Amino acid sequence: MVDAFSARPLEGNPAAVLVLDEAYTDGWAQGVAAEFNLSETAFARRIEDPEADFELRWFTPKVEVALCGHATLATAHVLAEIGVSAPYRFSTRSGVLTVVHDGDRMWMDFPVRPATPVDAPEGLAAALGADPVWVGRGGTHDLLVEVADEATVRSLTPDQEALARIDARGIIVTAPGAGHDMVSRFFAPNVGVPEDPVTGSAHTVLAPFWAERLGRTELTAHQASARGGDLELRLPSDAPGRVRIGGTAVTVAHGTLHI
């Protein structure tokens, strides 16, 4: 178990990571993820592939997801601890994802998901308890909701049942930050995660949004959950359509699964 996007235990976003030698069934993986009951459990398995070294899948307690940042960072951290050398190339449902070391951070290379403006879904403002300033859809999965300021982001106590009626994997709520370029929170009751502590995949939407707003391609971000976590973001000029997400991680437990 690893706390991702934090250098200290009991902060950031916890993920369970299983490094496996053999194939497994979807039902078994879903059951294990439900047993751990964290926002994501990662399953890494070495494969023979010219483009990737490991298959990587992520499960919430309810469903498999196509992209997860913090559990990817956690998996790379675990591989480093057991002696596997970087770079780490993962075959995933979102294509090949690469993680490299750079100084004291690991950097994930992910596809961006720029948000396109949409009308606010009926009931969104009431469910959040805040009026949207701007609403967009990032890819096909998430809604991006800009609100007035950082204080609004931090004070949200949304109606989870009402949020679950919104057509989205998750709802990213964001505003400009005082100590960071942006702050955000991420709510995903539709996939069994009322609030995710730190969401790497949400920043594939946030990075291009705030880069355009601020006119910069290197950004700092803070996810303002109760645990909290910090990320660095880079939109590389030599790789359009990609975002590099930097963070640290710390192992809090390891052991043997007896099922």
**pLDDT by residue (tens digit) across 81-124?**
999 999 999 999 999 999 999 888 999 999 999 999 999 999 99
Instruction: Reduce the DSSP state of residue 89 to 3 states and report it.
Output: strand
Q: Taking all residues of the chain, what is their mean pLDDT, rounded to a whole number?
A: 96
Q: Which pTM was predicted?
A: 0.94
Domain ranges of the chain: 2-107+245-251, 115-244
Active-site residue among 11, 22, 35, 40? 40
- pLDDT (tens digit per residue) in 213-257: 999 999 999 999 999 999 999 999 999 999 999 999 999 999 999
Distance CA 214, CA 173 (A): 17
pLDDT tens digits for range 46-77: 999 999 999 999 999 999 999 999 999 999 99
40 is catalytic: yes
134-138/2-4 β-pairing: unpaired
Judged by DSSP in three states, 41 sits in: strand
Return the SS3 of 147.
coil
* CA-closest candidate to residue 74, choices 232, 247, 214: 247
Identify the CATH assignment for 115-244 out of 3.40.630.30, 3.90.930.12, 3.10.310.10, 3.90.79.10: 3.10.310.10
12: left (phi over 0), alpha (psi -120 to 50) or beta: left
Of the candidates 17, 38, 40, which has an alpha carbon nearest to the alpha carbon of residue 202? 40
Torsions phi, psi of 128, nearest 5?
-80, -30
**Do the domains spanning 2-107+245-251 and 115-244 agree at the CATH topology level?**
yes
Q: What is the CATH number of domain 2-107+245-251?
A: 3.10.310.10
